[in-house]
Chains A and B, each alone.
Chain A
């Protein structure tokens, strides 16, 4: 409705922006209630900027639903977390017995996955070089330090590719099997599941081969178990055991890839 917009008394002044502060507060309160229910839709459909006076009720989904993809403010609902919330989610991702899924159900965030992946990428590149050098030095003490920049590129492709592609694939598979789940929650879950690899990276620098293998197998198992428990909570059924087993295998394969490529 446009009548709220045009009834403002200042609109006759050329070039002036109508003061919309009062209306904005009331519509923003209503829009928050509506938008929190929409978090399960990934491409944000609230059209970004909510013009004052437009109805922010349940009928906004049909109008201008594609414009929300290109405006930043519509994505900020996925980053609505505070520091302590993020820390708590990280801690509960390390112990796979906790109910991580219930914690993110109401407010899945994308901050964790993005920055955990970025940190892991840099750590893999840096510590991979250090670990490779230390291992070679142990075998042959005349090697000199070289920094292989390609590790940065490989780790970026591997980590970000994994975090983007695998949850998307599972989203489509789950949709095919009739489960309505949300893509953002899957991304959130897979992103936080990578946190355990960060301290593991630091331990993998130790140049004892057996120790490295033991560490990575333990980490891979813990991470796969985390994924399995949360996928089960997400789908609330055990008919899809094959999917869950597939997810576990993929996570374990990532762990093995980390070991074999970055810490040979």
Chain B
């Protein structure tokens, strides 16, 4: 097999660029095609071996040369020439040739894990910021479309206008809410915030589904209030942490307004 697995590199005495060159050279010797990878900035993230998803993000504590990362030679063996799976720096060619089912499964697991982190927050979890780092936009997309479709399906007239209004309010609302936080001097990353606000729609999706099955106004109001409170409670920690404490209410009120208006749409659509 390739020599890549057995090179004991001393990060103190060798720069990472040299390591990559060595690996590429050794791969060239063993006649496997290695990915044309530009020299990465010093990141020393060579613990690729143990990671089944090829581009899972490695914790970024590595602007300095790490102590020798735990490369397990045996696990690196099945991946010839791909031993340099850098973390998200450019996905290795395997994700282009893998079966579609693998890609879908990976995205779905990420959506589920983000959902669990955002909507069912466990106060004792070990890494509260994980959902923020692993943001994605597929989950929010599914939830917004699902909510629009459910509302449109349960409307008896003007179905397409109902969908249009729901989609516009939710999509534009997420963007405007993020801009609001930024303008109030808060610190938040645009797409992280879009992702969070989209995931916090999940309770309202459940509420819309329940309300579309039952047509009793009182039940609808109760269900909508509960899911609305749950959504706001899920969004609260992220939004309030992003701004100055004196402006917390200014940042949270528009979130509440958006969820209340969507809740009203859910109740009112007959």
Chain A residues proximal to chain B, CB less than 8 Å? 15, 72, 75-76, 78-84, 86, 111, 115, 118-119, 122, 126, 129, 144-147, 149-150, 152-153
A81 to B161, CA, bound (A): 37
Q: Which residues of B contact A144 (CB under 8 A)?
A: 270
Classify the interface of chain A: helix, strand, loop or mixed: helix
Contact status of A111 and B268, CB under 8 A, knowing A82-B247, A82-B250, A83-B247: no
Q: How close is B188's CB to chain A, nearest CB, in angstroms?
A: 12
Given contacts A79-B185, A118-B257, A122-B261, contact A145 B270 (CB under 8 A): yes
CB neighbours of B246 from chain A (8 A): 82-84
A-B contact pairs, 18 of them (CB 8 A): A72-B179, A72-B182, A76-B182, A76-B183, A76-B185, A81-B250, A82-B246, A82-B250, A83-B248, A83-B249, A84-B246, A111-B183, A122-B257, A122-B260, A122-B264, A146-B270, A147-B155, A149-B161
Pairs A-B, 3 closest by C-beta atoms? A82-B246, A79-B183, A147-B268
Whether the Cβ atoms of A115 and B257 lie closer than 8 Å is: yes
Are A83 and B162 closer than 8 Å at their CB atoms?
no
Q: How far is the CA of A82 from the CA of B179 in the complex (A)?
A: 17
- Residue-wise, chain B 150-166 has the 8 Å CB interface mask toward A (1 for contact) of 00000101100110010
Inside 8 A of B250's CB, which chain A residues have their CB?
Answer: 81-83, 86, 111
Q: In the assembly, what is the distance between CA of A115 and CA of B157, in Å?
A: 30
B256 CB to nearest chain A CB (Å): 10
Q: For this complex, into which size category does the number of interface residues on chain B fall?
A: 20 to 34
**How many contacting A-B pairs (Cβ < 8 A)?**
64
Q: Does B129 contact A (CB under 8 A)?
A: no
Whether B8 sits at the interface, judged by CB under 8 Å, is: no
Chain A residues with CB below 8 A from B145, complex form: none
Residues in B whose Cβ lies below 8 Å from that of A122 = 257, 260-261, 264
In angstroms, Cα B29 to Cα A67, docked, is 53
Tell me if B80 is interfacial: C-beta within 8 Å of chain A.
Answer: no
CB B268 to nearest CB in A, in angstroms, measures 4
- Min C-beta distance of B262 to chain A, whole Å: 10
Decide: B247 and A75 in contact? CB cutoff 8 A: no
With A146-B157, A152-B165 already in contact, the answer to whether A15 and B41 are too (CB < 8 A) is yes
Q: Which residues of A contact B131 (CB under 8 A)?
A: none
- In angstroms, how far is the closest chain A Cβ from the Cβ of B81? 27
A80 vs B179: C-alpha distance in the bound complex, in angstroms? 14
Give CA–CA (A147, B157) in the complex, Å.
9
B124 at the interface (CB under 8 A from A): no
Q: Which residues of B contact A111 (CB under 8 A)?
A: 180, 183-184, 250
Interchain nearest-CB distance for B121 vs A (Å): 25
Distance A81 CA – B183 CA, assembled complex (angstroms)? 11
Chain B contacts for A80, CB-based, 8 A: 185
A149 touches B270 (CB 8 A): no
Instruction: Give the residues from 235 to 270 in chain B that come closer than 8 angstroms, CB to CB, to chain A.
Output: 244, 246-250, 253-254, 257, 260-261, 264, 268-270
The answer to whether B182 touches A149, judged by C-beta atoms less than 8 angstroms apart, is: no
The answer to whether A147 touches B270 (Cβ under 8 A) is: yes
Picked from A82, A126, A150, the residue with its CB within 8 Å of the CB of B261 is A126
Within 8 A of A (CB), among B12-53: 41
B254 touching A115 by the CB < 8 A rule? yes
